Amino acid sequence: MKLILTTFLLCIAAPVCTAIDKPNIIFILADDLGYSELGCYGQKWIKTPHIDKIAAEGIKFTQHYSGQAVCAPCRCVLMTGKHPGHAYIRNNGDPKDATSKIHPFPGQNPIPESEITIAELLKTRGYSTAAIGKWGLGHFGTSGDPNRQGFDLFFGYNCQRHAHNHFPKFLWRNNKKIPQPGNERKLDGAIHSQDAFTAEALAFIRANKDKPFFLYLPLAIPHLSIQTTDKWLKHYKDTIPEEDHVHKGYLKHPLPRAGYAAMVSMMDDSVGQVSALVKELGLDDNTLVVFTSDNGPTFNRLGGSDSDFFESAGVFKGLKGSLYEGGIRVPMVARWPGKIKPSTTSDHVSAFWDWLPTLCEVVGAKPPADTDGISLLAAMTGKPQKSHECLYWEFPSYGGQQAVRMGDWKGVRQSIAKAKTSADMKTELYNLKSDPGEKTDVAARHPEVIARIEAIMVREHTPSSLFPLLPEERRRKRPKK
């Protein structure tokens, strides 16, 4: 079925373009980087000159949203262009079948063969494709195998839990284990995974410099554990104040604030190396570079991180795992010389499910009819932009949550799992224009807005047997005693 669908998409794609009409695409995804952890978004402690340069030479979006509040479902939304009420993967979780036992790290629930990804669509236009970093959508040999989902090359962590240590004993190149000599999954080691990703990315760019390529870089930092190298730690260990704290989970770092800042700067340096190579090879004017984050910053003090100190979520309420703004509003900057005007800022409201139609428009491919996104290329290039009627999220974890962004209004439901029936669920309401921090629930004053938002929650939710959300769905999933 996948082969038939891909062949069909190839047949209906726009006529073949010349090489110059097919820009290279580099899409960089940070892991748990907060909205305000970049210099161009107001960060005071952490230095990110290379990412800031992308914003200065391109565009910065102020109202861009992740696909979900945690890792795997966010990546599914990004790859398939379906919002969380339609996406196949809606939460983190491991497969329950026996094949998951054959690997040291089993990987997450795989996306089905029937899903069409960004990589597959770009391949119909003649693109070489690579995913380098953290996958989280199915192990090798499953339907979610990155090599079965449009990527010619995968290098990195297939399983998210494998990525909890940045000095791994091995990484994957496609379905082959690549040993990392000198690493024992301890606090430090010989080869930091970020350095390995950077080297692989540079090699891929060099190997494909004469043809169009799509380089997807879902990096593993600054997700915990806090692990960096002395090269980057020395920039912060004498400048950022540390204090005693209760460490929770992951490996313990002796200088957690300095170590966290060093990780972000280490990632920024990798972005700089990629950008420099693109320019060196003469590809700069024909390359679109996008940088964003998969969700909001991690829980305060977990693994030594300190989101309060860095003001990682800025003015926004909530952190990773929450459908409040802090958990899902993310930084996003893009650069494309000659197409994107330098030093521009956009307040266009957009989300991860917009990337599939956006990149399809960039390369002249036709997106599948069942996606939820709207191309944001017009907003990126300074043209009139079509807007969403609303954005919708649902998340069966962290108590069960739903959220709707409708104009300046934001509706949020929490603790869905505690409700006995759908009628028991309460919807909070915030006006993000006057209250971006979601401090004052005004639901009682605007029953007509609540009615519209709750109607959207019903309309946009497609039940999932794998990830039940509503009370009635959860009861049906419980095994009989």
Domain boundary among 353, 380, 407: 380
In a domain, 386, yes or no: no
199-222 residues labelled b (16+ CB within 10 A) or e (exposed): ebbbebbeebeeebbbbbbbbbbb
CA dihedral 170, 173, 176, 180 (to 10 degrees): -20
How large is the average pLDDT for residues 169-188? 97
Number of domains in the chain: 2
Give yes or no: residues 329 and 436 share one domain.
no
Give yes or no: residues 254 and 307 share one domain.
yes
Whether the per-residue pLDDT at 190 is higher than 80: the answer is yes
How large is the average pLDDT for residues 64-86? 98
Give yes or no: residues 436 and 363 share one domain.
no
| Intra-chain end-to-end CA distance of the chain, in Å | 38
Token pair listed for 481: 């005693």
Domain boundary among 350, 380, 410: 380
Give yes or no: residues 401 and 366 share one domain.
no
In a domain, 118, yes or no: yes
SS3 category, 247:
coil
How large is the average pLDDT for residues 48-62? 98
Give yes or no: residues 208 and 290 share one domain.
yes
Helices (H), 175-285: 193-207, 230-233, 256-280
174-185 residues labelled b (16+ CB within 10 A) or e (exposed): eeeeeebeebeb
In a domain, 270, yes or no: yes
CATH number assigned to the domain comprising residue 417: 3.30.1120.10
In a domain, 385, yes or no: no
Query: pLDDT higher for 81 or 12?
Result: 81
What local confidence, expressed as pLDDT, does residue 392 receive? 98
Token pair listed for 407: 């104009």
The count of other CB atoms within 10 Å of the CB of residue 255 is 18
Question: For the chain, how big is the Rg over CA atoms in Å?
Answer: 21
Give yes or no: residues 395 and 376 share one domain.
no
Give yes or no: residues 348 and 415 share one domain.
no
SS3 category, 293:
strand
What local confidence, expressed as pLDDT, does residue 100 receive? 55
The count of other CB atoms within 10 Å of the CB of residue 252 is 13
User: Which of these, 34, 54, 64, lies nearest to 352 by C-alpha position?
Assistant: 64
Give yes or no: residues 346 and 426 share one domain.
no
Give yes or no: residues 340 and 400 share one domain.
no
User: Which of these, 460, 470, 376, lies nearest to 419 by C-alpha position?
Assistant: 470
Give yes or no: residues 39 and 157 share one domain.
yes
Domain boundary among 380, 415, 449: 380
Beta strand spans in 143-261 (E): 153-157, 170-173, 176-179, 213-218
In a domain, 460, yes or no: yes
Give yes or no: residues 282 and 347 share one domain.
yes
Segments forming the whole domain that contains residue 454: 391-477
Per-chain mean pLDDT for the chain: 94
Whether the per-residue pLDDT at 209 is higher than 70: the answer is yes
Stated as kind and residue range, the H or E segment containing 360 is helix 355-363
Helices (H), 81-146: 118-123
Give yes or no: residues 343 and 405 share one domain.
no
The count of other CB atoms within 10 Å of the CB of residue 226 is 26
